[in-house]
Amino acid sequence: MMLRSPRQLRELGVLGMNERNANFVQRFNERRLYPLVDDKLQTKRLALAAGIAVPELYGVMETPGDTARLAELVANRDEFVIKPAHGSGGDGIMVVSGQSARRRGQYRLMDGSFISEAGIRYHATNIISGRYSLGGHRDQAMIEYCVQPDPVFAEATYRGVPDIRVLVFRGYPAMAMVRLPTRQSHGKANLHQGAIGAGIDLLSGRTVNGVFQNQPTDEHPDTGAPVVDIQVPHWNMLLELAARCYDLTELGYLGVDLVLDRDHGPLILELNARPGLSIQIANRAGLRRRFGLFVEQPDKRPVADRLAYMRAALHDEPSLSPVA
């Protein structure tokens, strides 16, 4: 069957783009709060102030002239990431995975190709000139720690760093998935760039369904490893971190992107005020229905209470996601 009928989707509680925009993004996310998450530097500061771990910031380049300091900023780092502070959808992120041993000034990228220092500086200049920022405004290029992924997803990842997206509605984790880079996504963990997504059962922290290009799948397209039934380590801690981000930002409809670092444990990578809807496909569950569980709950409850309520509510929820 190539299409679902609107009635079917409605019965399954699937959230559509129009409804997301009109009834969730516009209603639960005040516009004045957007800068907190649209500017990744601010998010970092906010998280650090709250004692939440984030990837270490190596430096910020604000003018094309600043890019001259690139070599100095990354002097003794083998690996680092350059990303736009105001980027969206993972665009403009460059992952440098090492310096060439043979030629000075040559860097290796995630996908195995080499780039000169001038090439990286040009990329940073593009970021600064606003090429990847929302609305094309002038931007800053951040250089930060390159996450060393926890080996749990090593089999199910083709280069790059898998990340965990938790959708937090009014402070309650409502749905989660892990995003695994593929050859097609060039090491990036965004579904629309070709990454594979796997839903995570909020109660157990085990992956349930895979989705690749909007199609269900159980295997990683490149490695062939299964993407379902993987236990995510530190699951309860990840949920708590995600839920705490609501208190930091007060954004009612929030996407929290976390990574599991081999050495540093769970880190907050970034926050998103307009998280996408593919998470529903990865979980085969509708967000409307999930949000219905939390929309009537009182605001400003402690994180622990929220998590307890979420667990109780989901425990009672009839299983919608068929596990094969």
Partner 1 sequence: MFEERSAKVLIIAFLLIAAGGALLTYKVRALGFPLLPDSEAQVWTVEAAVSFEAGPAPIKVRMFIPGLTPGFAILDENFVSRGFGATTRYVAGGREVQWARRRARGPQTLYYRAVVYRDPTLAEDDTTPPFPPSPIFAEPFSTAASIIVEDVGSKSADPASFTQELLQQLNSPGADQNVDLLLGLDPDIVDVARTATTLLAAALIPARLLRGIYLEDQQRYAEVIPWLMVHDGTRWLYFDPDSGQQGLPNDFLVWWNGTESLTTLDGGRDLDVTFSVSSSLMDPVSLAQRRSEARAGPLGQLSLFALPIRTQAVYSVLLLVPLGALLVVILRNLVGVQTFGTFMPVLIALAFRETQLLWGILLFSVLVALGLGLRFYLERLRLLAVPRVGAVLIIVVLLMLAISVLSHRLGLDTGLSVALFPMVILAMTIERMSIVWEERGAEEAIQQGLGSLLVAAVCYAVMDLDTARHLVFVFPESLLIVLAFTLLVGRYTGYRLTELRRFRAFGQRGSQ
Rounded CA separation 181/193 (Å): 9
Cβ proximity to partner 1: between 140 and 280 the closer is 280
Q: What is the dihedral of CA 119, 123, 129, 133, to 10 degrees?
A: 170
Q: Judged by CB under 8 A, does residue 319 bind partner 1?
A: no
Nearer residue to partner 1 within complex by CB, 4 or 262: 4
Residue 126 CB, nearest approach to partner 1 (Å): 7
Of 52 and 120, nearer to partner 1 (C-beta) is: 120
Question: What are the tokens at 320?
Answer: 């919608």
Residues 279-298 that bind partner 1 (CB under 8 A): 280-281, 284, 286
Q: How far apart are CA 321 and CA 323, in angstroms?
A: 6
Q: Is 64 in the site for partner 1 (CB under 8 A)?
A: yes
- Which one-letter amino acid corresponds to residue 39? D
Note whether 218 binds partner 1 by CB under 8 A. Answer: yes
CB 197, CB 191: distance < 8 Å: yes
Residue 207: CA count within 13 A, CB half-sphere = 30
Which one, 23 or 106, has the nearer CB to partner 1? 23
Question: Quick one: the chain helix, strand, coil %, rounded to 5?
Answer: 35, 25, 40
Closest to partner 1 by CB, 72 vs 296, is: 296
Helix (H, G, I), strand (E, B) or coil at 152: helix
Residue list 175-204, contact with partner 1 (CB under 8 A): 184, 192-194
**The two three-digit tokens of residue 241, written as one number:** 């971190």
Write the binding mask 246 to 285 for partner 1: x where contact by CB under 8 A, - elsewhere. Answer: ----------------------------------xx--x-
Look-up: residue for tokens 């460059």? 94
221 and 246 Cβ atoms separated by less than 8 Å: no
Judged by beta carbon, residue 98 or residue 119, the one nearer partner 1 is 119
| Residue count (the chain) | 324
Q: Please name the amino acid found at residue 280.
A: Q
The number of residues that bind partner 1 (CB under 8 A) is 47
Select from 30-38, 96-104, 128-136, 248-256 the region that touches partner 1 (CB under 8 A).
128-136
Positions touching partner 1 (CB under 8 A) are: 1-6, 8-10, 12, 14, 16-19, 22-23, 27, 64, 89-92, 118, 122, 125-126, 129-132, 184, 192-194, 211, 214-218, 280-281, 284, 286, 322, 324
